[in-house]
């Protein structure tokens, strides 16, 4: 499969996005193309700023505080269970957090908090599928592929967007 990518600057550092032939986002990553490639298992990646323009525009608006919701087609590759968890992640309201246990209960598997945590960790589309909104039961900022500091900054960013919307 061929994927098309772009890397661009944001207030949070370099950010990369990849889309498929239909323009659906298949992966995102903080950092350059090497970070993105580690999240893409079955793609041959070609840089293409035209095919990625919509995703780049919406992500840039989000990082600039001008967008609260995304309107992009998504095509993450994963198991049926992972897909279920990733859909549940998209229902966590901006500016809010939940725990792995609460997310497991939400999908009807209250004893699957660890499995939910693993699916969360393998989410290939960070930010758009907001895995950063999941925290430990004790309130700790655990389990973000790009580090706790960045997770905290994203949550603070979304809290400020939420406050401005009220």
- Give the CATH number, domain containing residue 55: 3.30.160
Claim to verify: residue 155 and residue 84 sit in the same structural domain? yes
* Residue 165's pLDDT band (cuts 50, 70, 90): very low
Q: Tell me the average pLDDT across 11-28.
A: 97
pLDDT at 43: 87
Question: pLDDT tens for residues 43-100?
Answer: 899 999 999 999 999 999 999 999 989 999 999 999 999 999 999 999 999 889 999 9
Q: Which of 3, 43, 126, 131 is catalytic?
A: 131
Of the three residues 12, 28, 63, the one that is the final residue of a domain is 63
43 counts as catalytic? no
pTM, entire model: 0.93
State which residues form the domain around 57.
Answer: 2-63
Identify which of 118, 116, 119, 148 has the alpha carbon closest to the alpha carbon of residue 132: 148
Neighbours of 83 (CB within 10 A): 13
């Amino acid at each position: 499969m061929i994927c098309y990518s772009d890397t661009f600057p944001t207030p949070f550092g370099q950010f990369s996005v990849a889309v498929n032939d239909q323009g659906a986002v298949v992966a995102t990553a903080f950092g350059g193309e090497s970070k993105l490639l580690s999240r893409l298992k079955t793609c041959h990646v070609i840089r293409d700023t035209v095919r990625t323009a919509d995703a780049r525009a919406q992500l840039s608006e989000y990082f600039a505080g001008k967008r609260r919701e995304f309107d992009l087609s998504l095509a993450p590759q994963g198991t049926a269970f992972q897909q279920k968890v990733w859909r549940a992640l998209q229902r966590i309201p901006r500016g809010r957090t939940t725990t792995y246990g609460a997310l497991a209960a939400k999908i009807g598997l209250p004893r699957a908090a660890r499995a939910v945590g693993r699916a969360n960790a393998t989410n290939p589309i960070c930010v758009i599928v907001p895995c950063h909104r999941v925290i430990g039961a004790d309130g700790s900022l655990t389990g973000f592929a790009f580090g706790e500091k960045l997770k905290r900054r994203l949550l603070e960013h979304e809290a400020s967007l939420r406050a401005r919307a009220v």
